[in-house]
């Protein structure tokens, strides 16, 4: 996962353009940008940091947590290990 702390959206857009020419889509990282409220990350939802993702063995995002991971989620996380 890549988290961009760039202050300008143009910097994020320039990076995206560069990556789109160099890295095949299936090899790209999930990208988040923390610079503007309401910005939709490449998972399609507004980005807020800190953020955690529970990813299963096939690489599918199973759950997404904003802020602290809730205590009840740790058993589900352990099951995927």
Q: What is the pLDDT of residues 31-72, one digit of tens each?
A: 766 666 666 666 666 556 677 888 877 888 888 888 888 888
Express each pLDDT in 9-32 by its tens digit: 788 788 888 888 888 888 877 776
The predicted pLDDT at position 38 comes to 66
CA–CA dist 70, 27 (Å, integer): 30
Q: Which residues contact 16 (CB under 8 A, 6 or more apart)?
A: 31
Give the global pTM.
0.43
With b meaning 16 or more CB within 10 Å and e meaning fewer, what string describes 26-43? Answer: eeeeebbbbeeeeeebee
């Amino acid at each position: 996962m890549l988290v961009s702390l760039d202050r300008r959206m143009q910097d994020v857009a320039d990076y995206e353009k560069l990556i789109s020419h160099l890295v095949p889509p299936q090899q790209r990282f999930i990208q988040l940008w923390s610079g503007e409220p309401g910005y939709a990350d490449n998972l399609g939802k507004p980005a807020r940091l800190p953020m955690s993702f529970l990813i299963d063995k096939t690489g599918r995002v199973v759950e997404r947590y904003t802020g602290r991971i809730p205590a009840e989620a740790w058993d589900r996380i352990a099951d995927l290990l």
